[in-house]
Amino acid sequence: MISSAIGKSWVTDLDELRKLRDLAEEPDFQQEWMEVKRANKRKLAAQIRRTNGVDVSSESMFDCQTKRIHEYKRQLLNVLHVITRYNRIRSNPGLNVAPRTVIFSGKAAPSYTMAKLIIQLVNSVGNVVNSDRRVGDLLKVVFLPNYNVSLGELIFPASDLSEQISTAGTEASGTGNMKFALNGALTIGTLDGANIEIMEEVGRENIFVFGHTADQVNEIKRRGYRPREYYERNPELKEALDMIANGAFSSGDQHLFRPIVESLLGRDTYLLLADYGAYIEAQDHVDQLYLQRHEWVRKSIANTAGMGKFSSDRTIAEYAREIWGIKPEKIDKLDRRELVIQNFSEILRKD
């Protein structure tokens, strides 16, 4: 679709994607963009049906967190939002929210017990939510197992929302956020890692930023962080954690997920409870925007259009220019063939 609109040069020069900005307001282009996204979502929905046995609507928002399972990447914060959303829908049958399919995927290190318990909690919450008829298609939760490149090739093009919610100051860079944004997903994230550069390239108005900054995180820890105070002050947070603790997602077993609850209320190393309120507020903004479909699509196009900087070609060209001091030399097909023959002949002589 992009090639038909701006030509094929963007494939080897990703900066060419900036030409999409001129098309972002055009209704016909927006409509075609939505149709391509919907087709990709149908492909992922079929995969979810095959692997998880769960039917999800391609008309729902595909809210994706695809990355290594680790406490600092805060899949648990996402789970707390899912539980809060579940409780809101149950309490308010007429609630006007965008239907969502929340998709988790990623692997845990073999000996990382807490990460594996987080995966179990995601699946357990999904089992409860997906079988609750009061919720219906307003909320589905799936964990796609055995994440690999082939699965990523289905997830990234189908994504509407990209969850990049690590504690500020903990993410070295991140590339999943780049893949999501290149495929037109809007980012919800902290000012951490490559999120900062993505914001600079696509515009802060085209992503959802929340949470404490790295400096604020350090200051909170310096003063003495007390996560239980956030738990006591926020009724929705308290309800979500109490449900986990009381066995609502473990068939009444109050011991299974106790390590998670005790960790969050005891030390909460990665400040999930401190960022919870801001995260929920940002998710409310996500809902409001998704219901304005053409405005959402405009921002989706803006994300793809702003991703030229993140090309590896651009990185290598910058290294060549600024570090190695070399210039590219163009060779035609015949030159390349002769070069291969010369190299092969040299190898034979050495042998």
pLDDT at residue 345 above 80?
A: no
Task: Give pLDDT tens digits for 209-265.
Answer: 999 999 999 999 999 999 999 999 999 999 999 999 999 999 999 999 999 999 999
Are 302 and 182 in contact by the 8 Å Cβ rule? The answer is: no
pLDDT at residue 94 above 90?
A: no
Map residue 128 onto helix, strand or coil.
helix
Mean per-residue pLDDT, 121-137: 96
pLDDT at residue 351 above 90?
A: no
* Confidence at 334, pLDDT banded by 50, 70, 90: low
* Confidence at 178, pLDDT banded by 50, 70, 90: very high
Per the rule left: phi > 0, alpha: psi between -120 and 50, beta: everything else, 271 is left
* Confidence at 333, pLDDT banded by 50, 70, 90: low
* pLDDT score for 232: 98
* pLDDT score for 6: 97
Between the alpha carbon of residue 84 and those of residues 177, 180, 340, the distances in Å are 24, 25, 61
Map residue 142 onto helix, strand or coil.
strand
d(CA 211, CA 189): 8
List the domain boundaries for the chain: 2-310, 315-350
Rounded to the nearest integer, the mean pLDDT of the chain is 94
2-310: CATH class: alpha beta
